[in-house]
Structure 1
Amino acid sequence: MTDSSNAPDSSLQRLWLCEAVRLREEHAGPLEDSEANRLARLAGGDISQMIERRALHLARRDGLIDAQRHWLQGARLAALLLAVLALLGGAALAFAALGDGSRPVNVFWALGSLLGLHLLSLLGWLLGLMLAADSGGALGRLWLWLCSRLARDARSVQLAPALLVLLQPARLTRWGLGAVIHGFWVLALLAALGMLLAMLSARHYGFVWETTLLGADSFVSLTQTLGALPALLGFSLPSEEQIRASGILGLSEDGARQAWAGWLLGVLLVYGLLPRLLLGLFCLWRWRRGSARLRLALSAADLALLRQRLQPGSERLGICDPDTLGPAQPDQLQPLAGGESAVLVAIELDDSRSWPPRLPAGVANAGILDDRQQRQQLLEQLGRFPPARLAIACDPRRSPDRGTLALLGELAGSAAATRVWLLPAPPGEALDGARLADWHQALRELQLPFNDSAPLTWLETGHD
């Protein structure tokens, strides 16, 4: 049976792996998937569930699940690095706005230092939201690039493209990257606000405005307009007299300094931090809502081909004519009830051997597997009725090729306990010692116990 212990818990991650497998097959051709298709059919369910189980089996077999885990670790590390940069950048903005206190602070110059880059970035994001496909911006693309670079796994090369292709039909890229971008800006503006509070608490700052072309009335109107919303939240607003007086360099009245400091903090909070926080929460809501609705695109041509392979016409429509020829080889397996069956099967034995041996009561004979159809039939039967003990007879005169070893692994996965029986040579013949050693080495690598003598007692009783 398939091992789902390391399968992703998130539906989005599972769909992501399905898309990665699809892209891989699109570029490199169909993968060898007979075992994956068999297990998907055995588990049942609708076509979406079968395609997902097939893709997860292939992803587990080819290391894509581990690669996805490494990619997500890289994503978290990239987010941490950018978060640290955002905090440092926000603190730098506050220091650039106020300086060291040796000279009065130009309030509108300070405001431009605190909010200028934020407003330009916000405008670019809004324009991208209306005109572009992803609205990720430079910061979002930088984060995706860092995710891929930090993954350090060659198998993850198609994970980022697969994620973008998966999200594109529902336009979820804009909301996912939007949540990331606004999250970084929230951190930066929080750091700026915190540094601003610390600096205003520890030093005396005088506030002025300076102009050559504009009059005092323009600054009074602009200051009061910007301060109206923060004033509703309790932040101070300089009076008209204080605003006009601040045009004189060197004004150091305590009330004026406190009013300007409160105004600056309020404007940063209302026009900087709050919009980013609200937009970030909105993007996160849209992302979660959209990702919960993601489904496989079953109308795609390549998935239509998979439908034919996972649900052949004979299985979907039923058998129209009765089978008058009887079952094909291997012999019909009669599993014992309660999962306590014991089964003996042989792989590619020639006519020089008498088969099967005399079997104890309760041990079923699964015949000799010679072709692909017989193997698939037995694997599906063992999948429905997993035996408690399975003995697999092999002829050690043949080389242990990769196909045979892969079949041994599949058969072993269908039973609670498995042993490989390396048959003795027929009378008058001798086994090749080097080839027998190759069998022993291969079986040890597969972690399959093996016997040189008949394991019939073990099959019957469960011990030797």
Structure 2
Amino acid sequence: MTELNNLWLTETIRLREEHAGPLDDLEANRLARAAGGDLPSRIKRRALWLAERDGLATALKHWLQGARLALIVLAILAVISGAGLAFAALGQAPVNVFWALGSLLGLNLILLLSWALGLIFAGEHGASLGRLWLWLSEKLARDAKAAQLAPALLLLLQRQKLNRWAIGVLVNSLWLLAMVSALVILLMLMATRRYGFVWETTILSADTFITVTQALGALPALLGFNVPTVDMIRASGDSALNIESARQAWATWLVGVLLVYGVLPRLLLAGFCLWRWKAGQAALKLDLNLPGYAQLRERLMPSSERLGVSDAAPTQLHRVESGVSEQQTDGALLVGIELDDDRPWPPNLPKNVSNAGILDSRESRQKLLEQLSRFPPARLAIACDPRRSPDRGSLALIAELARSAGATRVWLLQAPPGEALDAERLGDWHVALQQLELPFADCMPLNWLEKGHD
């Protein structure tokens, strides 16, 4: 994942918490603290973990896929539009050269000037095309969570005024594609059909057209394109010259003007905007003065760590995947969750199996999780009392503990003598643990803890 995507997801998490309230981030904060680094890197690590958990990272992948499809759609429209300009320019016989030139370059030059003025005075011109692309990207992503990504991207880019350059790359690239399409179709039509060229006027003199034609052809002439002679220009005012050299001169002049005033400006501007975009990306960073980030300093920096208040539990359980490798883990550990005093604890354990006690308070849970983040065990057994209901808080704790160990098994304790377990409640435990994809049994996995196998 690129640095821009990391910042993008971080900004999305900030906006989400700003509008919907703090997320359940105890595990994310703990992992960010354990990873170390400066405050921005911890904030990004926390946000990326939350984005993975809540599906925003997947939504970003879907959004990027939708964005690429939207670009393809817009590119196809640009190619079709450019071809339409070429057919419109040569759609009359004989061809009025200045009418054809207006068809090929008129709208392009007007919008180019409008974009340049907007870039200088506002920096937001062209946003309509940008909004169209964002709208298409969101629709093609087909992910409800992708709707949270576009506002975050715009806010992130606006801080460094990168949105103007991103829009510039989009606008100029699409117009470049349209101009290239028009140029290719123009050459194909001229190569397969014979066109005569004239100019017509009611109020302007022939000298005016001679001056304009030579002025427009001056730059293309530097690249080797022909410019009609004065005699050719005067003669073309009456009727299309049936002379091969005159047709070729006008055709070459028209192609050269389209290339120099249509294709090259868009190519240079697209390249300039892309250069500014690339340079600006290197300067992108989090604004730590924003309230959403400033509040995290106390939770993520070691000098001011303190426990926060947990948000509401998620509506569904998340699949457990260990976050540590075999090389990072060592030893075996047994821990109990909210066990009653009537149960003797701890049971007899081999020397190579450690007892982590009973987790019955927020402080004990956080202390153990902090320890596991530094010294993850290779094997972890979690003892639970199936007489209690498998509430989402307990299941979330089991999942978090499991992610901090190489391998995990759950021990569902037997009922005390003279007491029977509730079959329905025990079934709820089985269903919940199956959703977490954690192995469980009604006896302590002693051999597994001691030797790593049954």
Match of 2:34 in 1: 42
Q: Give the 3-state SS of the residue equivalent to 1:425 in structure 2.
A: coil
Code of the residue aligned with 1:45 in structure 2: it is G
* Change over 3 Å in CA distance of 1:390–1:44 after alignment to 2: same
Q: Distance in 2 between matches of 1:313 and 1:340?
A: 29
1:136 pairs with 2:126 = yes
Deviation, structure 1 residue 312: 5.5
* Mapping for residues 12-411 of structure 1, pairs under 5 Å: 12-99=4-91, 103-311=93-301, 313-314=303-304, 339-411=329-401
Match of 1:325 in 2: none
Q: Give the 3-state SS of the residue equivalent to 1:428 in structure 2.
A: coil
Deviation per CA, 1:380-403: give whole Å up to 9, x if none: 111111111100000010011101
Code of the residue aligned with 2:35 in structure 1: it is A
Match of 2:313 in 1: none
Code of the residue aligned with 1:291 in structure 2: it is Q
Q: Distance in 1 between matches of 2:305 and 2:116?
A: 52
Contact 1:179 1:280 in 2 (8 A): yes
Contact 2:328 2:376 in 1 (8 A): no
Code of the residue aligned with 2:118 in structure 1: it is G
Deviation per CA, 1:47-83: give whole Å up to 9, x if none: 0110001111111111111111111111111100010
Q: Give the 3-state SS of the residue equivalent to 1:168 in structure 2.
A: helix
Deviation per CA, 1:254-287: give whole Å up to 9, x if none: 1110000000000000000000000000000100
Deviation, structure 1 residue 149: 2.1
Q: Give the 3-state SS of the residue equivalent to 1:419 in structure 2.
A: strand
Deviation, structure 1 residue 138: 2.8
> Number of paired residues?
434
Deviation per CA, 1:100-133: give whole Å up to 9, x if none: 6xx2100000000000010011011011101224
Code of the residue aligned with 2:32 in structure 1: it is A
Match of 2:320 in 1: none
* Change over 3 Å in CA distance of 1:272–1:29 after alignment to 2: same
Q: Distance in 2 between matches of 1:361 and 1:293?
A: 54
Deviation per CA, 1:130-189: give whole Å up to 9, x if none: 122423343222212212222222112221110000000110000001101111011100
Q: Percent identity?
A: 65
Q: Distance in 1 between matches of 2:172 and 2:289?
A: 35
Contact 1:128 1:137 in 2 (8 A): no
Deviation, structure 1 residue 32: 1.2
Q: Distance in 2 between matches of 1:239 and 1:309?
A: 78
Code of the residue aligned with 1:406 in structure 2: it is A
Match of 1:415 in 2: 405
| Unaligned runs of at least 5 residues, structure 2 | 307-326
Q: Give the 3-state SS of the residue equivalent to 2:125 in structure 1.
A: coil
Code of the residue aligned with 1:88 in structure 2: it is I
TM-score (norm 2): 0.94
Contact 2:329 2:406 in 1 (8 A): no
Deviation, structure 1 residue 313: 4.1
Q: Distance in 1 between matches of 2:211 and 2:440?
A: 91
Code of the residue aligned with 1:237 in structure 2: it is V
Q: Give the 3-state SS of the residue equivalent to 2:237 in structure 1.
A: coil
TM-score (norm 1): 0.92
Q: Give the 3-state SS of the residue equivalent to 2:410 in structure 1.
A: strand
Deviation, structure 1 residue 428: 1.4
Contact 1:124 1:137 in 2 (8 A): no
1:10 pairs with 2:2 = yes
Contact 1:136 1:173 in 2 (8 A): no
Contact 2:165 2:277 in 1 (8 A): yes
Deviation, structure 1 residue 302: 2.1
Contact 1:345 1:393 in 2 (8 A): yes
